[in-house]
Amino acid sequence: MQRHRDGRCWCLLARVGDYHDDSGDLVVGQLHTPVLPDVSATADARVVGSVGLRRRPRRLALLLPDTSQPRLSATLPPALAAWLGAALADAPATGERRAGDETYTALDTELMVEVLAGSGRHGTLTVVRMR
């Protein structure tokens, strides 16, 4: 098998089989199967809560544009968690809520973050930076 890059799409070329035609010449067959990459896009999301200690959150509850249900982010890197914790320290808590199987502390804040929204069924939200 050979792998090559065709624009933004990764494609695999697999050798299907070699055979001889009626004239005795060797014929090489190829199957061209596109393999779609994991396309991701950034978006701005509003922070509506946090999981873990507010001064060092493990994950954030985020509200994406045009959605009504918050989604939890992926686990935050330590440095970003410290920055976000400092920004969320004085935000008033408005209770506890659930997103999926996890409980988060709802916060009244206007803090926005940039997220990398992965493709796929569950589309993991990875926080890139604070706005």
Which of 86, 66, 84 lies closest to 75, judged by CA?
84
23-55 tens-digit pLDDT: 555 444 444 444 444 445 788 999 999 999 989
Predicted pLDDT at 121? 62
Cβ contact 110:88 at 8 Å: no
83-124 tens-digit pLDDT: 999 999 999 999 999 988 899 999 999 999 999 987 666 678
| pTM, full prediction | 0.66
In which residue are the tokens 């061209």 written? 32
Distance of CA 54 to CAs 23, 57, 60, 86, 92, Å? 76, 5, 10, 8, 11
